Every structure is written in C-alpha cells, then in structure tokens.
C-alpha cells in the first residue's frame, strides 16, 4: 500500500475544496495501475464528497448543509464558535472518507464527478487529508 498525508488550508469560511487533481498526482507518483484509492480526512468536523463542482453543486451542497444543520439550533456540543455543534454532526451526513476504483492508473469517476473535502468548521483553518492506494 502507498499512502501520504498532506495539509489543506481551508481558511475561515465554509468550503468545498476539490482534491481530484491532487489525487491524480498521488496515483501517478504511486505508479498506480489497478486498485483502490482511499481518501480519508482525520477530523471530527469535515467530510469527503464525490460530486460535480464548478456548476453550482458545491455551493448547493453548502446551502443544503446550512438548511439541514442550522447554526442557531440548540446544539448540545457547544465549544467553539456559535453553532459549532453542527460541524460535529456533518460527518454523519458527509462521511470523512471515500473509496474510488482505479483502473489503468485512472480514477473511475463519472464525467462530472470530483473528489472534494467538505469543511464547514470555520474554527479550524487547516485540514489533513490522507490518500492511500491499495493495489489490486
């Protein structure tokens, strides 16, 4: 298995950050042929989504999460900025991982699919992402 961890600066705003290019570079460096790419975010307040980006879906996802997980809800988990409890519920809806098949060194994503870090936690501006390639 080939694995690496890197950091992403997400800043102080909610973000959907496209990781697809970085994943492709990782697979090339790993000499990937056939197998699985596993993307893991080791945080209690972030997730990984496979979705279309650039056509508004990323903004739609953040809007949907705001509607499903409003900051003004009476969250029991209350440390951090107001409404931070919702960030700890996020991984139940957007899991902190994704596994993508790899064939002939390429991720088998659909035409418009991208692999994205989803981060609504404005209290933590730096995130770690672990990429692992398991050869088939």
Q: Give pLDDT, residue 123.
A: 93
The phi-psi region of residue 55 (left if phi > 0; otherwise alpha if psi is between -120 and 50; otherwise beta) is alpha
Q: For residues 112 and 100, give the distance between their C-alpha atoms in angstroms, rounded to a whole number.
A: 14
CA–CA gap between residue 94 and residue 96 (Å, rounded) = 7
Q: Is the pLDDT of residue 49 over 90?
A: yes
> Distance between CA 131 and CA 110 in Å, rounded?
20
Q: What is the mean pLDDT of residues 53-72?
A: 95
Between residues 78 and 53, the one the model is more confident about? 53
pLDDT tens string 18-35: 999 999 999 999 999 999
Give the model's confidence band at 78: pLDDT under 50 very low, under 70 low, under 90 confident, else very high: confident
Residue 83's pLDDT is 86
Quote the tokens at residue 20: 């697809």
pLDDT of 108 above 90: yes
Locate tokens 């997980």: which residue?
69
Residue 81, pLDDT above cutoff 90: no
Q: What is the average pLDDT across 54-67?
A: 96
pTM here?
Answer: 0.94
Average pLDDT, the chain: 96
110 CB contacts (<8 Å, ≥6 apart)? none
Q: 30 burial class (0-12, 13-18, 19+ CB within 10 angstroms)?
A: buried
pLDDT at 69 over 90: yes
Q: Sheet harboring 15-18: ordered strands across?
A: 15-18, 114-119, 46-51
What confidence tens digit (pLDDT) does each residue in 1-10 have?
Answer: 999 999 999 9
> For position 82, what pLDDT does the model report?
86
Is 7 exposed, middle or buried (CB count within 10 Å of its CB: 0-12, 13-18, 19+)? exposed
d(CA 118, CA 27): 21
């Amino acid at each position: 298995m080939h694995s690496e961890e890197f950091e992403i600066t997400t800043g102080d705003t909610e973000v959907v950050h496209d990781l697809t290019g970085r994943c492709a570079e990782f697979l090339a460096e790993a000499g990937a042929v056939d197998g699985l790419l596993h993307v893991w975010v080791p945080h209690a307040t972030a997730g990984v989504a496979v979705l279309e980006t650039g056509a508004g879906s990323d903004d739609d996802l953040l809007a949907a999460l705001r509607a499903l997980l409003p900051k003004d809800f009476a969250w029991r988990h209350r440390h951090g900025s107001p409404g931070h409890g919702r960030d700890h519920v996020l991984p139940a809806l957007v899991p902190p991982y994704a596994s993508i098949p790899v064939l002939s060194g390429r991720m088998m994503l659909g035409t418009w699919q991208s692999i994205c870090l989803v981060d609504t936690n404005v209290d933590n501006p730096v995130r770690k992402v672990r990429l692992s390639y398991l050869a088939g």
